């Protein structure tokens, strides 16, 4: 029987381009259904005496002709049979109902005006109604039968993965429909699981719904050979979602999810929208959502300069700023290729399609005084976000000269130009590594903080500190992903090492908010949530990749690297702001003359290119700088 069905489907679909039935075939079949339905209606009504139907068989043409016109107008034959759905039912219902209405009304008119015409052309009213019902039902059944046959015969059953769908509500139902209709889908739904006791033991299209206690067990997973769990509850809380993900991972399942309701198209999702669980979903912190009024006040209709604009933080700051309607956004970076890619992205972002005249892209180095002055003279920025910096700790340990030149004197140059050209606000992106620094990079950022805080004048200098950012350049997350893709091992410097994490959009939104509320001389620190053990992060990423075979190894702390990052120094404390996610750090204040003297001495040592002398002067400026690098640690003695 199965072979016969296969041959039938091959005959219907196989000889046509893209396995698509020609439209005229569908129309022809629909017209055959119209004729067969008419004959069927007559036999059902008058099966005892067909002659009593009062209809001349030689004049059967009127009903099919009217239906043909209705089908052509409604284009009922346009849909692909294997994807028949509600829209096709609507078209068929509309065409058949309008045809019935026309035939009934026209027969009524002819009965009044020309009774003999009505008798010769039209069947009885009851025949028209029965014929209408038969035609509509058979056309709909034909489409769904063909769709079912096609799905059963043509869908790829060779490499299917058995799926447990978590959520038997609207999300799960739509997901089941999507996977059932997609012949290229790799997933086969075997069971549902739901927290609602009322749904447990019910069925959705013959697929049973189980409780979590029943389904999320090794025996159940083994019995049904489950490979994947898809979370189909878009409105699920972060905490509950994390629990479910962790449970699925503990059962060695590939865990995926469907997008939020606002990402669905016409109440539907596609197989391509089924997304992998990201490591951000397992960090245990709630997304930070801020108001926009403060940022609008600071950015709207103003000229804004962002340095380091091609970097992960700088580029996201630029994206967010463009949503606040700046008069002009100047994006500056020295990295040519990343800047080219970022320019292409911004110019082709639909949200910014009418804002190209508001964007300017500049290639230069923040330590170049001639070019930077030209930028300020040309654009006269009112707000500056200074994100340009060297950030890689091991590299900067080996290149202290360049770290000081860019992070300290590059910042000094931009800050001095900001004061000279009357910039309203200067927001510097710092790091938690500036707190009790143990490496050159952290110490340079602390010196940059000290310099900007000591500036006097109308320009308000604001510093923002935060920890590691997921997915940013240099973050462990992309490193671990690359190592997993290569088959391992995953390298962690120390099993005990911990870090604070937040997402790039969260960090940048907090930077914009802090910049808007700062009044000058401020250092703001962000709520980074709980510390994350890097070893645990590596294990979770390994499980998410479904690669338990990949080894995680310790490589030892790198020069200048801390086991634990801090947000505030020991002698510092914080004051709450109106935003619970942003704290105002109370730090030591430096006099301008004192800072200028220390910076001048640092510049003198910089000219020697002697790394030991450079670092020694850095330790004078930042006494709490205790290097973890064996080369520089001897300077502490």
Mean pLDDT for the chain overall: 81
Per the model's pLDDT, the better-predicted residue between 184 and 372 turns out to be 372
User: What CATH code is assigned to 293-584?
Assistant: 3.40.50.720
Q: CB 88: neighbour CB atoms within 10 A? A: 21
Average pLDDT on 228-246 reads 84
pLDDT at 509: 84
Per the model's pLDDT, the better-predicted residue between 267 and 481 turns out to be 481
Q: What is the pLDDT of residues 310-326, one digit of tens each?
A: 998 999 999 999 999 99
**What amino acid positions are annotated as catalytic residues?**
433
Alpha carbon distances (Å) from 608 to 311, 429, 457, 613: 30, 28, 32, 8
Pick among 1.20.1530.20, 3.30.390.50, 3.40.50.720, 3.90.980.10: CATH of 161-277: 3.40.50.720
Which regions of the chain carry the CATH code 3.40.50.720? Answer: 161-277, 293-584
Angle between helices 238-250 and 534-544 (to 10 degrees): 70
pLDDT at 597: 94
pLDDT at 298: 87
pLDDT at 565: 67
Per the model's pLDDT, the better-predicted residue between 130 and 568 turns out to be 130
- Positive or negative, the CA dihedral 373, 379, 381, 385 is negative
Q: Tell me the Ramachandran region of residue 497: left when phi exceeds 0, alpha when psi lies from -120 to 50, beta otherwise.
A: beta
pLDDT at 172: 84
Average pLDDT on 115-128 reads 70
620 secondary structure, DSSP code: H
Separation of alpha carbons 558 and 629, rounded Å:
8
CB 631 within 8 A of CB 439: no
pLDDT at 585 over 90: no
Average pLDDT on 355-364 reads 93
Lowest mean pLDDT among 114-128, 222-236, 239-253, 441-455: 114-128
Alpha carbon distances (Å) from 390 to 168, 363, 461: 50, 17, 20
pLDDT at 92: 83
Separation of alpha carbons 178 and 268, rounded Å:
8
CB 432 within 8 A of CB 466: yes
Average pLDDT on 127-142 reads 83
Instruction: Tell me the pLDDT band of 511, cut-offs 50, 70 and 90.
Output: confident
Average pLDDT on 547-571 reads 73
Separation of alpha carbons 466 and 505, rounded Å:
13
Average pLDDT on 369-397 reads 93
Per the model's pLDDT, the better-predicted residue between 389 and 527 turns out to be 389
Task: Indicate the length of the chain as a whole number.
Answer: 637
pLDDT at 382: 95
Average pLDDT on 185-199 reads 87
pLDDT at 589 over 50: yes
Q: What is the pLDDT of residues 287-305, one digit of tens each?
A: 566 667 788 988 999 999 9
Q: Which candidate, 292, 384, 585, places its Cα nearest to that of 466?
A: 585
Coil vs helix vs strand at 309 = coil
Q: Which candidate, 221, 169, 222, 220, places its Cα nearest to that of 195?
A: 169
Q: Which candidate, 73, 65, 69, places its Cα nearest to that of 38?
A: 65
Half-sphere exposure of residue 246, counting CA atoms within 13 Å on the CB side? 12
Maximum CA extent, the chain: 120
Per the model's pLDDT, the better-predicted residue between 456 and 21 turns out to be 456
Instruction: Tell me the pLDDT band of 82, cut-offs 50, 70 and 90.
Output: low
pLDDT at 47: 62
pLDDT at 566: 63
Q: Tell me the Ramachandran region of residue 471: left when phi exceeds 0, alpha when psi lies from -120 to 50, beta otherwise.
A: left
**Upstream peptide bond of 489 is cis (omega within 30 degrees of 0):** yes
Coil vs helix vs strand at 575 = strand
């Amino acid at each position: 029987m199965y072979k016969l069905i296969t041959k039938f489907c091959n005959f219907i679909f196989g000889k046509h381009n893209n396995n698509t039935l020609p439209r005229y075939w569908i129309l022809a079949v629909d017209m055959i259904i119209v004729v067969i339905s008419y004959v069927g209606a007559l036999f059902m009504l008058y099966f005892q005496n067909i002659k009593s139907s009062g209809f001349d068989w030689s004049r059967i043409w009127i009903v099919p002709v009217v239906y043909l016109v209705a089908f052509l107008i409604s284009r009922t034959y346009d849909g692909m049979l294997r994807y028949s759905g509600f829209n096709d039912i609507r078209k068929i219902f509309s065409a058949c109902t309008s045809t019935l209405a026309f035939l009934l009304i026209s027969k009524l008119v002819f009965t009044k005006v020309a009774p003999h015409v009505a008798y010769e052309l039209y069947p009885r009213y009851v025949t028209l109604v029965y014929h209408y019902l038969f035609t509509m039902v058979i056309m709909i059944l034909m489409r769904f039968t063909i769709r079912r046959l096609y799905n059963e015969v043509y869908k790829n059953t060779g490499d299917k993965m058995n799926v447990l769908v978590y959520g038997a509500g609207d999300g799960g139902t739509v997901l089941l429909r999507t996977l059932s209709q997609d012949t290229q889908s790799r997933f086969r739904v075997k069971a549902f699981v739901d927290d609602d006791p009322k749904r447990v033991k019910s069925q959705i299209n013959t697929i049973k719904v189980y409780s979590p206690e029943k389904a999320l067990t090794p025996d159940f997973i083994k019995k049904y050979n489950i490979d994947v769990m898809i979370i189909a509850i878009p409105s699920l809380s972060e905490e509950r979602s994390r629990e479910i993900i962790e449970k699925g991972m503990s059962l060695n399942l590939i865990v995926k999810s469907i997008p939020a309701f606002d990402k669905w198209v016409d109440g539907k999702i596609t197989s391509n929208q089924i997304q992998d669980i990201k490591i951000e979903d397992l960090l245990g912190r709630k997304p930070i959502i801020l108001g926009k009024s403060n940022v609008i006040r600071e950015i709207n209709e103003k000229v804004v300069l962002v340095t380091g604009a091609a970097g992960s933080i700088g580029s996201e700051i630029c994206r967010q700023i463009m949503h606040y309607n700046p008069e002009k956004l100047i994006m500056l970076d020295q990295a040519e290729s990343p800047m080219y890619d970022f320019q292409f992205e911004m110019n082709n972002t639909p949200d910014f399609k009418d804002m190209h005249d508001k964007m300017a892209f500049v290639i230069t180095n923040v330590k170049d005084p001639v070019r930077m002055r030209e930028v300020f003279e040309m654009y006269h920025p009112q707000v500056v976000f200074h994100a340009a910096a060297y950030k890689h700790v091991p590299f900067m340990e080996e290149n202290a000269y360049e770290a000081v030149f860019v992070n300290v004197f590059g910042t000094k140059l931009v800050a001095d130009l900001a004061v000279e050209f009357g910039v309203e606000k200067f927001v510097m992106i710092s790091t938690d590594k500036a707190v009790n620094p143990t490496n050159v990079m952290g110490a340079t950022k602390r010196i940059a903080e000290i310099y900007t805080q000591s500036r006097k004048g109308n320009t308000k200098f604001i510093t923002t500190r935060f920890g590691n950012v997921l997915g940013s350049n240099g973050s462990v997350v992309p490193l671990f992903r690359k190592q997993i893709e290569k088959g391992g091992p995953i390298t962690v410097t120390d099993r005990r090492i911990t870090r604070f994490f937040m997402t790039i959009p969260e960090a940048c939104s907090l930077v914009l908010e802090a910049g808007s509320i700062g009044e000058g001389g401020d250092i703001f620190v962000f709520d980074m949530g709980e510390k994350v053990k890097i070893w645990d992060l590596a294990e979770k990423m390994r499980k998410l990749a479904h690669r338990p075979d990949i080894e995680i190894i310790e490589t030892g702390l790198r020069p200048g690297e801390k086991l634990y990052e801090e947000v505030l120094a020991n002698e510092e404390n914080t004051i709450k702001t109106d935003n619970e996610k942003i704290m105002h750090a109370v730090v030591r204040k430096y006099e301008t003359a004192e800072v200028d003297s220390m910076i001048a001495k640092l510049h003198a040592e910089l000219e020697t290119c002697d790394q030991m002398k450079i670092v020694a002067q850095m330790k004078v400026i930042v006494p709490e700088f205790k290097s973890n690098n064996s080369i520089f640690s001897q300077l502490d003695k």
